[in-house]
């Protein structure tokens, strides 16, 4: 009789929930090396889910590998680990590339000698052959170099001695036995690797099944057309929360009738609830009054997302956090019932003055059934680093709920958002307020023209505007956005802003939590 309870080794794709176990292995293998941030691990999966693999034993991850696809031009020239991996985010994944790049591979020391590493290398070979790539490349450490430097003063001489089997290197000799060949020595690949004195050797394995004369066509596993509905929302005096709910539900229903995947509300969407009292309130009174609607607002939007089968970008609502600090928070309600939040990173001077709003310190993509998305609240769109950080994590659509009182303020948000769309080759979706709230301080007048913006290239609208509303008119704009067109533009466009970044000169490094 077979014992079905016997513990098994499972090789599978990496999941977001594996993050802590992966970082536990990193700490065991490389003490003192900073672990991957959660954003970086999410980004790796978002960019190339097939390339992220773990080995699991009895429910615990005991080994992992991180890979992405790169072009022959980029992969086979000298580079550093930070440059080629986009700072650890795998943001330079090129779906039209020809080599699989091994970004990292680790096995829990307690399970070494059980061929866990061999399983991971075999999975990489299968992946390479599945996508009909020319081969696998990666930067390999040379941990014996520092000790042998007197005998072999240059890394090239050291590697040549390893190739000739005069000496043995723990890493290079192992890789050569597994069919990888040294290509070139790379300086400053990992400056923190003191055993290798910062050097690495580019190793290459050639795919024996590749047809070097054939053409490979790669279609990324992404949802292609995404239908977006953005609302030019009128702020008006209302008499009850039920009236606010009725207005919001009307627009959610309209978007659902048009089979939209997302419907977008503006910044400060709930401010009309302050008009219920019908008298001016000082800032403290305003926030106390608004706070009583937090739970009803979240409950209503959450239920509406499920009821209408649509993902709702719920605009923003003022929320006091656990430390008593006031935050301007965007709630994202997914149609599977999940709720996510994103704090505004940069409060405007008026928000600080009127409500003492504090900025958040986290900016992460949100994974939806239509791919990873990002949120930049109004003023945040005017800081290029934030959009780049989201795109590095895999975002292809960024939503911008905003509130502006003048045309000049509106154009700052719009022009900056369009710049973000061009420089990151992504879609930007803006939703703003119209109308007036005379008795609500700091929200008495509004100006908006909600829109859906695209990069500026041949696959997109000639003016880079997929759809927009009339200025200061309550209405919606709806557009279908092609993820495939975005991928094509990023990899074969007239210009390729993401691909052409000088990773050797600059990068965005996130210091937040």
Q: What is the mean pLDDT of residues 117-137?
A: 94
Residue 170 phi, psi (nearest 5): -55, -40
* % the chain with pLDDT above 70: 96
Alpha helices (runs of H) in 341-474, residue ranges in sequence order: 349-355, 384-392, 407-424
Q: What is the mean pLDDT of residues 25-49?
A: 93
Q: Is 323 assigned a catalytic role?
A: no
pLDDT of 33 = 82
User: pLDDT grade, residue 102 (50/70/90)?
Assistant: very high
pLDDT per residue as tens digits for the range 451-474:
999 999 999 999 999 999 999 999
pLDDT of 25 = 96
CA 352 to CA 328: how far, in whole Å? 11
CB half-sphere exposure, 270, CA atoms < 13 A: 26
pLDDT of 6 = 57
Q: Which residues of 351-382 are buried (b: 16+ CB within 10 A; e: fewer)?
A: beebbebbbbeebbbbbbebbbbbbbbbbbbb
pLDDT per residue as tens digits for the range 411-424:
999 999 999 999 99
Q: Indicate which residue of 267, 351, 382, 474 is catalytic.
A: 267
Cα 257 to its chain centre, rounded Å, is 29
Q: Which residues of 420-430 are buried (b: 16+ CB within 10 A; e: fewer)?
A: bbbbbbbbbbb
Res. 287: pLDDT tops 50? yes
Mean pLDDT for all residues in the chain = 92
pLDDT of 208 = 86
* % the chain with pLDDT above 90: 82
pLDDT of 7 = 66
pLDDT per residue as tens digits for the range 77-87:
999 999 999 99
Res. 46: pLDDT tops 60? yes
Residue 352 phi, psi (nearest 5): -65, -40
pLDDT per residue as tens digits for the range 325-379:
999 999 999 999 999 999 999 999 999 988 899 999 999 999 999 999 999 999 9
- Going through 359-513 in order, the beta strands assigned E by DSSP cover 366-368, 371-375, 397-401, 427-431, 433-435, 451-453, 465-468, 475-482
pLDDT per residue as tens digits for the range 190-201:
999 999 999 999
3-state secondary structure of 255: helix
Q: Is 378 assigned a catalytic role?
A: yes
DSSP character at residue 470: P
DSSP character at residue 125: H
Q: Who wins on pLDDT, 377 or 440?
A: 377
CA 53 to CA 38: how far, in whole Å? 16
Res. 314: pLDDT tops 70? yes
3-state secondary structure of 418: helix
Give just the sign of the alpha carbon dihedral 275, 280, 283, 289.
Answer: negative
Q: Indicate which residue of 344, 396, 416, 474 is catalytic.
A: 344
CB half-sphere exposure, 197, CA atoms < 13 A: 14
CB 313 within 8 A of CB 330: yes
Q: Which of 22, 143, 43 is nearest to 367 (CA)?
A: 43
pLDDT of 216 = 45
CA 148 to CA 206: how far, in whole Å? 30
Task: List, as one string, the DSSP characters of 22-45.
Answer: HHHHHHHHSTTSPPPPHHHHHHHH
Which of 3-17, 359-373, 480-494 comes out lowest in average pLDDT?
A: 3-17
Q: Who wins on pLDDT, 442 or 35?
A: 35
CB 436 within 8 A of CB 446: yes
Q: Who wins on pLDDT, 381 or 216?
A: 381
pLDDT of 120 = 94
pLDDT of 211 = 54
Q: Indicate which residue of 330, 378, 416, 451 is catalytic.
A: 378
> Any residues with CB less than 8 A from the CB of 374 and at least 6 apart, and which?
363, 365, 366, 387, 390, 391, 393, 395, 397, 398, 399
DSSP character at residue 294: H
Res. 174: pLDDT tops 70? yes
Query: From the CB of residue 385, how many other CB atoms can be counted at a distance below 10 Å?
Result: 12
pLDDT of 1 = 38
């Amino acid at each position: 009789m077979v014992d079905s309870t016997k513990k098994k080794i499972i090789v599978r794709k990496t999941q977001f929930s594996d993050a802590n176990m992966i970082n536990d292995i990193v700490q065991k293998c490389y003490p003192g090396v900073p672990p991957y941030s959660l954003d970086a691990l999410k980004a790796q999966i978002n960019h190339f889910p097939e390339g992220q693999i773990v080995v699991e034993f009895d429910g615990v991850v005991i080994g992992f590998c991180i890979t992405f696809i790169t072009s022959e031009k980029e992969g086979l020239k000298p580079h550093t680990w930070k440059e080629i991996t986009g700072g650890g985010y795998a943001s330079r994944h090129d779906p039209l590339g020809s080599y699989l790049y091994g970004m990292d591979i680790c096995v829990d020391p307690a399970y070494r000698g059980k061929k866990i590493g061999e399983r991971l290398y075999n999975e990489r070979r299968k992946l390479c052959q599945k996508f009909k790539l020319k081969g696998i490349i990666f930067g390999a450490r040379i941990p014996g170099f520092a000790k042998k430097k007197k005998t072999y003063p240059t890394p090239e001489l050291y590697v040549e001695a390893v190739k000739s089997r005069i000496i043995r290197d723990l890493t290079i000799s192992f890789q050569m036995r597994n069919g990888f060949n040294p290509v070139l020595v790379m300086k400053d690949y990992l400056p923190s690797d003191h055993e290798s004195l910062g050097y690495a050797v580019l190793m290459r394995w050639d795919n024996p099944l590749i047809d070097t004369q054939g053409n490979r066509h790669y279609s990324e596993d992404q949802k292609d057309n995404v239908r977006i509905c953005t609302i030019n929302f009128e702020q008006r005096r209302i008499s009850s929360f039920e009236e606010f709910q009725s207005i919001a539900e009307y627009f959610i229903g309209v978007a659902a009738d048009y089979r939209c995947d997302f419907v977008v509300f503006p910044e400060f969407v709930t401010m009309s609830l302050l008009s219920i009292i019908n008298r001016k309130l000082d800032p403290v009174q305003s926030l106390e009054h608004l706070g009583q609607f937090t739970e009803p607002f979240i409950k209503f939007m959450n239920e509406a997302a499920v009821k209408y089968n649509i993902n709702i970008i719920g605009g923003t609502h003022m929320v006091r956090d656990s430390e008593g600090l006031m935050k301007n928070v965007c709630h994202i309600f997914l149609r599977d019932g999940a709720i996510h939040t994103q704090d505004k990173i940069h409060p405007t001077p008026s928000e600080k003055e009127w409500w003492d709003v504090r900025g958040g310190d986290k900016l992460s993509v949100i994974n939806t059934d239509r791919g990873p998305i990002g949120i930049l609240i109004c003023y945040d769109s005017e800081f290029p680093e934030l959009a780049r950080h989201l795109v590095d994590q895999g975002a292809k659509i960024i939503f911008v709920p905003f509130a502006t009182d003048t045309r000049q303020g509106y154009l700052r948000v719009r022009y900056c958002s369009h710049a973000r769309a061009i420089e990151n080759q992504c879609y930007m979706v803006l939703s703003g307020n119209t109308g007036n709230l005379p008795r609500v301080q700091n929200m008495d007048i509004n100006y908006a023209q909600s829109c859906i913006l695209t990069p500026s290239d041949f696959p997109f609208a000639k003016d880079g505007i997929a759809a927009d509303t009339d200025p200061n008119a309550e209405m919606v704009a709806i557009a279908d956005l092609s993820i495939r067109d975005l991928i094509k533009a990023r990899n074969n466009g007239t210009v390729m802003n993401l691909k052409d970044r000088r990773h050797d000169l600059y990068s965005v490094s996130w210091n937040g939590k």
